[in-house]
Amino acid sequence: MNQTTYYVTPIFFSRKFAASLLLGVLSFSNELPAAEKDIATFSNAKSLESWKSVNDGVMGGVSEGGFKLGDQGDLVFRGKLSLENNGGFASIRMLPQELDLEGTTGILIEHRGDGRTYWVDLRVKDQPSASSYRAYLDTKKGEWQTTRLAFDQFKLQAFGRELPSKAIDPKSVNSVGFTIADKKEGAFQLEIKSVKANDKQADAKKSKKGDIVDVAKSAGSFKTLLAAASAAGLVDALSGDGPLTVLAPTDEAFAKIPAGVVEKLLLPENKDQLVAILKNHVISGKVSLAKALEVREAASLQGSKISFRFENGRVLVGKAALLSADIDATNGVIHVIDAVLIPEMKQTEPLDAAELVELAIERGVPLFNDGEIDGCKAVYEITIEALRSMKGVPKDSQKVLAEALTKAKATKSSRDQCWIYREAMDATWKSLDK
């Protein structure tokens, strides 16, 4: 029996503006804290028995991805990404187990990549299988790195869309994994030496005297920048291990922005835009002025290319003039500039509840009809989880959705579960204002 769909308008994923900007805000490469807890190490083949691969074949794609034990006692995640058949992801994950991460603040990953960007996936107890908490993992081709990701950098996502969720409770984390889904076809390889968690006491013992934030405070001319960093929740990141290079606009630089704009950016509802702007002033690693002028440009954490050049007897950083350079901090270096570097940003509207149902059915029906029942179930299940916390969904419909989840969990047949979810979504769609 085939499922049918009565929606004819093509629907595309429309992400909430800059929803992923907070994912992987800052990664730190430095010595590991004194106190840490092993999550995963790969000294022998037996250590890989608790891992599995999940690729886009579950949704009709043809990407290849798997893992093996590397020569250096590491896990090698490799394969070939393909965008055919609406695919485009490959992943590996640890099977759920008791990790006992209560009291920890984040994870430390020792890795060597190929220059591509990956996701780190965390899963928690009683979480829908099609979703995970994700943060970006940037890699430098051929270089070993240690990246620290705080738990509050992870955001709940499914199928490329951020979902409403509460912060991770570390004690509920029971799996870690890695995904590549950067929309670039071709071979990939990521090596993982270890995954560890660090605790709050280790963080508290680390001295922050003379870090980037301390230096900015003592200078007295970066009050607006520090206020913006506080509103964006980035003060702790700028005080972290680093190394980082900060292009610091002075208070006078912020004063050049039209009246009211800075005040508006500091409002909680504009936090995503503020984070994007601030990330455009941060470069990973310690980049001296001499090095910057040698390479001529560097990538900001926001993703923009920031140029460094001589022009008319002065150094320009992007469109700003350099006022002071190479101010050392314990976790990096500061270059002072006379203008705010505003990145180019495109704003898109998030899906409303009706659009999300339509998209889920558009994606789920072909999977169901092609025999990919589990893929269809995963799409429907995570859609229902998202709908339950979305605005505009009537209380009666929320009750229907909750009952569907309960009924489906008590049903062994994936095919029957699909129909339970589909009927609940159809009923919800009819109740929505469109």
Tens-digit pLDDT profile for residues 351-394: 688 888 898 888 888 888 888 888 788 888 888 888 887 878 99
Whether pLDDT at 27 is above 70:
no
More confident residue, 12 or 104: 104
Mean pLDDT (whole number) for 131-146? 87
Most trustworthy range by pLDDT among 114-128, 168-182, 352-366 = 168-182
Q: What is the pLDDT of residue 300?
A: 85
Whether pLDDT at 190 is above 70:
yes
pTM of the model: 0.48
- Coil vs helix vs strand at 198: strand
Q: Measured between alpha carbons, how far is residue 376 from residues 7, 215, 229, 352, 427 in Å?
A: 17, 53, 42, 21, 18
Residue 312 CB partners (closer than 8 Å, separation 6+): none
Q: 283 - beta bridge partners?
A: 245, 300
Mean pLDDT (whole number) for 414-432? 92
Q: Is the dihedral of CA 203, 206, 208, 213 positive or negative?
A: negative
Q: Which of 121, 130, 165, 151 is nearest to 19 (CA)?
A: 165
Q: What is the pLDDT of residue 187?
A: 96
Whether pLDDT at 62 is above 70:
yes
- Coil vs helix vs strand at 304: coil
Phi first, then psi: what are they for 167, rounded to 5°?
Answer: -65, 155
